[in-house]
Amino acid sequence: MILAIESSCDDTSVALIDSQGFVCALSSRNQDVKHSPFGGIVPEVASRQHTEVLMPLLNQVLNESNTELKNLTGIAVTARPGLIGSLLVGVVAAKTLSLALEIPLVGVNHIEGHLLAPLLKDETHQPTVGFGFPYMALAVSGGHTHLFEVLGVGRYRLIGHTVDDAAGEAFDKFAKLLGLGFPGGHLIDKFSNGGDTQKYAFPRAKMEADDLDFSFSGLKSSAARLLNGWSQEKIDSERRDLCASFQEAIVEVLIEKMLRAHKKLKLKNWTVTGGVSANSRLRARVFEVAEELNLTISLPPLRYCTDNAAMIGLAGLYRLDSGNLGPQPVTASSRAMPEDWVKA
């Protein structure tokens, strides 16, 4: 039984994974209410919250699965990338437990966790039948927008990434401009329902042929220019069309880049993970494209899409199984290691 801990940003999460990669227990707590008064994540607040919540979550997963600390055979912890203060809480807790219980510890790259999330299984969820390596993975959240060719465990070819803001960050910034609070991605999604996707012309960046990278920072500037001088009443009355048009600009680019990658690499299996994969328009478009191109799609349920320890446990399990524990000792780093993957 592997214990997994995730604390890289503003979600604290603990999971127990058995030797077959089956999620026996998962408990996650987000900190949205703590950060929303500040309109964004405050690193100091995030670290403090992790210290308060981590041990209760650990007790919860042990109790839920009738597991005792002495039954644990290994520990996986998110070591990079993320907010350094947040990462340190998880890494120090994991190191302490590993020393006390005399069991191996492995540091996991958070993005690797997102890439493997479509393979997670539990009592109520199985990966899509026929889905497996190699696959195309879009990891898209408030912190990252990365497109990968996933060839196997530990074999991740980065084929595109954002050169500035993440897609979730763009959703959140736009929600703030509309006065919807933080984080606002899910509200943009909600208000887009029934709105006119073409009413406002938001830019689609990096659309030159062959470019698989993303850029979303121009979207916010364009929205700020558009809304300059608008009253809150006017914003509210146009909210539906504004949200639908903005959402369409992001979803269109995400889908277009996956289509381009598909043309090049002919990957029949696709997954989308990270918080933005909850977006209903993105999900609908992925399934439309899948139908046209006869693809197999595995979109993890929300508990495995947003930041969670189960995906870290699965990545850790493969490492522990193979004996390849990566660079030792495990250290927290705000950045990914160069050896984590190769850019195509």
Q: From the list ligand KG4, Zn ion, none, pick the one residue 242 interacts with, judged by a Cβ distance below 5 to 8 Å according to partner type.
A: none
Smallest separation (angstroms) from Zn ion to the CB of 86: 12
Which stretch in 63-71, 179-187, 230-238, 312-320 sits in contact with ligand KG4 by CB under 6 A?
A: 179-187
- Amino acid identity of residue 338, one-letter, is P
Q: Which of 2, 3, 9, 26 binds ligand KG4 (CB under 6 A)?
A: 9
In 3D, which of 140, 139, 147 has the Cα closest to residue 257?
147
Nearest to 146 by CA among 120, 189, 114, 102: 114
**Is residue 141 part of the contact set for Zn ion (CB under 5 A)?**
yes
User: Residues 157, 161, 186, 303: which binds ligand KG4 (CB under 6 A)?
Assistant: 186
Closer CB to Zn ion, 109 or 141, in the complex: 141
Of the residues 81, 85, 160, 274, which one makes contact with ligand KG4 according to CB under 6 A: 274
Examine residue 307 and tell whether it contacts Zn ion (CB under 5 A): yes
Report how far residue 1's alpha carbon sits from residue 4's, in angstroms, rounded to the nearest whole number. 10
Shortest separation between residue 10's beta carbon and Zn ion, angstroms: 10
229: exposed, middle or buried (Cβ count in 10 Å: 0-12, 13-18, 19+): exposed
Tokens representing residue 76 in the block: 């996986």
Beta bridge partners of 75: 3, 105
Smallest gap, in angstroms, from Cβ of residue 245 to ligand KG4? 14
Count CB neighbours of 63 within 10 A.
11
The entry of Zn ion, ligand KG4, none near residue 275 (CB within 5 to 8 angstroms by kind) is ligand KG4
Contact segment (CB under 6 A) with ligand KG4 among 53-61, 69-77, 178-186, 293-301 equals: 178-186
Pair of tokens at residue 10:
């503003």
For 223, the enclosing helix (H) or strand (E) is helix 217-227
**Residue 1 Cα to chain centre, angstroms:** 24
Select the residue interacting with ligand KG4 from 54, 76, 119, 278 (CB under 6 A). 278
Neighbours of 22 (CB within 10 A): 14
343 is written with which tokens?
């850019």
| Phi, psi for 29 (deg, rounded to 5) | -135, 125
109 binds Zn ion per the rule CB under 5 A: no
Sole binder of ligand KG4 in the list 113, 142, 160, 313 (CB under 6 A): 142
Q: Which residues bind ligand KG4 (CB under 6 A)?
A: 9, 141-143, 168, 171-172, 183, 185-186, 189, 274-276, 278-279, 306-307
